Amino acid sequence: MGFAVGHDLRRRPGWTRFAATLAVLLPVLLLCACVAKQSHPLLQYEPAKMTDEGLVRYYYDLGEAIDACERSGQGDATVSVGGGVGTGGWSGVGVSVGQPVSKGCKSDPLRQRRVDTAIEMRKRGIQH
């Protein structure tokens, strides 16, 4: 059976399976990629609940974590989808989720926490 130019792919059963598979897999993979992102362990601590000495140490730990994060390189997870319909009525879909080689941490939340920590230090009269 030949493949005619201009043939309506929506009438082929393989196209329907391909579209259904894609419609199910893409949202699931995007959800998995979002859940896989984890926040930095330093963000679990609350500056307002720390001692003065702990607050100063925490401020410097945040600075070191920001430097390490930026040195490691930032990257986002990628989702790739490919598919095809063959002339024999078959169809296929390939989906890939990729992570960067580095840890891919984001420094913005760490920077915001360092600002919050500096504000708490100023409230207490602590110099850094």
pLDDT of 104 reads: 60
Q: Which residue has the tokens 């989906």?
A: 95
User: What pLDDT is stored for residue 8 in this prediction?
Assistant: 52
Q: Residue 96: which of 80, 113, 112, 116 has the closest Cα?
A: 80
pLDDT in tens, the chain (128 residues): 555 555 555 555 666 777 667 676 667 665 655 544 557 899 999 999 999 999 999 999 999 999 998 887 655 566 677 777 767 667 776 766 665 544 567 899 999 999 999 999 999 999 87
- Could you state, in order of their start, the residue ranges of all structural domains in the chain? 9-124
Helix (H) or strand (E) holding 25: helix 13-36
Q: Do the Cβ atoms of 49 and 119 come closer than 8 Å?
A: no
Tokens of 100: 């960067």
Question: How many whole angstroms separate alpha carbon 80 and alpha carbon 97?
Answer: 6
Phi, psi of 26 (to 5 degrees): -60, -50
pTM of the model: 0.50
Question: Which pLDDT score is estimated for 35?
Answer: 45
Taking Cα atoms as reference points, which of 102, 95, 109 lies closest to residue 30? 95
CA distance 24 to 95: 11
